[in-house]
Amino acid sequence: MHALIVVAHPNPASFTHSVAARVGEGIAVADPDHSFEIADLAAEAFDPRFTRADHAVHDRVGPPPEDVVREQARIDRADALVLVYPVYWWSMPGLLKGWIDRVFANRWAYDYSPATGLVKKLQRLEVHLVGIGGSDERTYVRHGYSAAMKTQIEHGIFDYCGARVVSSRLLLHTQPQDPASHL
């Protein structure tokens, strides 16, 4: 099994990066035949802006940009996709959302046309979501944020493409608990 771990945080010394590294270590320890690659979107300067070229891909009138093709190839090599990200405004950061907007494109992640309807093309892909939250569980439950994130990310993105969300975790910070205990 090969996993692509995607990290979206600008600070390489962040807790988010520590969690991503620990996930990779766990994959390697679980089975010596397992491998992983970390895609650090900030360090790699991935451009999350949806451009005219991306729109042309969506409209089925143009080829995907080279940076998108490279990211799609990374996912194609993986059996599992692990997203590790801080929760910003009760969702994923713009960098990660832009990566999904551009990379999970029509004709690659799904195929939609009025003639054929929706064809989900990522059924083989297992997805693991690890959100790093800055609030406590009561806040997430009280305001319905956990349910909203499940609807938006698990259903709205991955189910639309046919990818299976195998696990979805929110690592929440609480004052008396040491964040390192999540590692």
Structure tokens belonging to residue 133: 């939250």
Q: What is the pLDDT of residue 176?
A: 46
Whole-angstrom Cα distance, residue 86 to residue 90?
Answer: 9
CATH number of the CATH domain containing 133 = 3.40.50.360
Domain hosting 115: range is 2-182
pLDDT digit of tens for each residue in the chain (183 aa)? 999 999 999 999 999 999 999 999 999 999 989 999 999 999 999 999 999 999 999 999 999 999 999 999 999 999 999 999 999 988 899 999 999 999 999 999 999 988 889 999 999 999 999 999 988 888 888 888 888 888 999 999 999 999 999 999 999 875 445 555 555
Q: What is the pLDDT of residue 134?
A: 84
Residue 149, beta-bridge partner list: none
Residues 6+ apart with CB under 8 A from 89: none
Instruction: Give whole-number Cα distances, 156 to 5, 149, 159, in Å.
Output: 20, 9, 6
Domain count, the chain: 1
Residues 6+ apart with CB under 8 A from 62: 53, 56
Q: What is the pLDDT of residue 84?
A: 98
Instruction: Give whole-number Cα distances, 94 to 44, 60, 157, in Å.
Output: 15, 25, 15
Whole-angstrom Cα distance, residue 125 to residue 106?
Answer: 16
Pairing of strands 164-172, 126-133: parallel
First to last CA, the chain: 22
